């Protein structure tokens, strides 16, 4: 009897980015579509003069989309590797182009790996879950003001008016290291996952986001979100990507979920951060542990030396 693979989780998605009423250039980048690894919605909000912000957001988006253009059996570490690559790419670009010094971008994405949503986050763009008539923020802002708010040093009202509310403490590009927050969530039929830039979340509160994001179809919801942010006088580019989950069909995974919903990992040029992700999501295995050994890059040379030693011993023992 031939067994057929279960159908994928049913999903619909829509996205839109608008320059807004104040800025002359749109430095946001967005993606919403299917990949061999599941449905992906993504928002990147660039920063920097001389079109640097626009370049940064587009390059970060393209790096992640290209990484997911082929099947990735170990998705969590593949996502972390793509973020690492994007950060190093932007940092190298800025180093080679002095006019782009300080360029960077946020990056927030949701990948639906039936029935798990993997949420990656850097910066102050946001991801929200809309379920059973309620909206929940899934990410935390990486900004100076958000840090002070969490520490109790600023009130919510003070945070909204603070002159440093757009100062990021974590972004892709400015530094050779970046902190990725990688979260996981079991999705359910009817869930909606919204990813947006601060040009949207900065002017629409939870109630307004919920009201607009629950409109159908998904395209109408995204249009309503952008339109209401513009009507509220958003001072920034406005971007939203919405993923609507229909029927859910669980599929086997080659990773396990950590007990903590969110893993915070520092990614530099080396593999240490990737090892942290592999261990947290149970992707290691014997081969992965061997690859971490200091001798692994020399394995062929060492094997060749061992063969020569064996041949020498055999020749010495059995020569006439």
pLDDT tens digits, one per residue of 143-182: 988 888 888 888 787 777 777 777 899 999 999 999 999 9
**pLDDT, position 301:** 73
Residues 121, 142: Cα–Cα separation, whole Å: 9
Helix axes 272-280, 75-96, angle to 10 degrees: 160
Which residue from 233, 189, 193, 187 is spatially nearest to 209, judged by alpha carbons? Answer: 193
Residue 44 and residue 15 in contact, taking contact as beta carbons nearer than 8 Å: no
Most confidently modeled of 45-49, 59-63, 153-157, 284-288? 59-63
Is the sign of the CA dihedral 195, 198, 202, 203 positive or negative?
negative
Residues 233, 289: Cα–Cα separation, whole Å: 53
CB-based contacts of 177, cutoff 8 Å, min separation 6: 87, 266, 267, 268
Residue 247 and residue 114 in contact, taking contact as beta carbons nearer than 8 Å: no
Per CATH, the homologous superfamily of domain 11-283 is PPM-type phosphatase domain (3.60.40.10)
Residues 28, 46: Cα–Cα separation, whole Å: 6
Q: Which two tokens stand for residue 13?
A: 């998605």
Residue 218 and residue 33 in contact, taking contact as beta carbons nearer than 8 Å: no
Q: Which two tokens stand for residue 182?
A: 């990688």
This prediction has a pTM of 0.87
Residue recorded with tokens 């080396």 = 270
**pLDDT, position 117:** 97
* For residue 115, cis peptide bond before it (omega within 30 degrees of 0): yes
């Amino acid at each position: 009897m031939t067994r057929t693979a279960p159908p994928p989780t049913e999903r619909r998605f829509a996205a839109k980015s608008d320059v807004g009423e104040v800025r002359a250039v749109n430095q946001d980048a967005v993606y919403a579509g299917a990949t061999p690894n599941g449905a992906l919605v993504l928002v990147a909000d660039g920063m920097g003069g001389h079109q640097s912000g626009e370049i940064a957001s587009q390059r970060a988006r393209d790096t992640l989309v290209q990484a997911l253009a082929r099947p990735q059996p170990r998705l969590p570490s593949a996502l972390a590797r793509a973020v690492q690559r994007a950060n190093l790419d932007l940092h190298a670009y800025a180093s080679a182009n002095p006019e782009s010094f300080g360029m960077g971008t946020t990056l927030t994405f949701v990948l639906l790996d039936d029935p798990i949503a993997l949420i990656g986050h850097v910066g102050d763009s946001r991801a929200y879950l809309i379920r059973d008539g309620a909206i929940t923020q899934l990410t935390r802002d990486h900004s100076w003001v958000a840090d002070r708010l969490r520490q109790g040093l600023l009130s919510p009202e003070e945070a909204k008016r603070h002159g440093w509310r757009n100062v990021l403490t974590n972004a892709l590009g400015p530094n050779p290291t970046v902190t990725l927050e990688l979260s996981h969530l079991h999705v359910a039929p009817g869930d909606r996952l919204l990813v947006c830039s601060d040009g949207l979340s900065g002017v629409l509160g939870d109630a307004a986001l919920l009201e607009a994001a629950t409109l159908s179809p998904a395209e109408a919801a995204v249009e309503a979100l952008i339109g209401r942010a513009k009507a509220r006088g958003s001072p920034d580019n406005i971007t939203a990507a919405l993923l609507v989950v229909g029927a859910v069909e669980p599929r086997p995974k080659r990773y396990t979920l950590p007990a903590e919903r969110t893993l915070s990992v520092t990614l530099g040029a080396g593999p240490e951060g990737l090892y942290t992700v592999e261990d947290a999501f149970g992707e290691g295995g014997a081969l992965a542990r061997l690859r971490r050994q200091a001798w692994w890059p020399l394995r062929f040379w060492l094997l060749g030396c061992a063969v020569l030693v064996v041949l020498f011993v055999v020749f010495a023992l059995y020569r006439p």
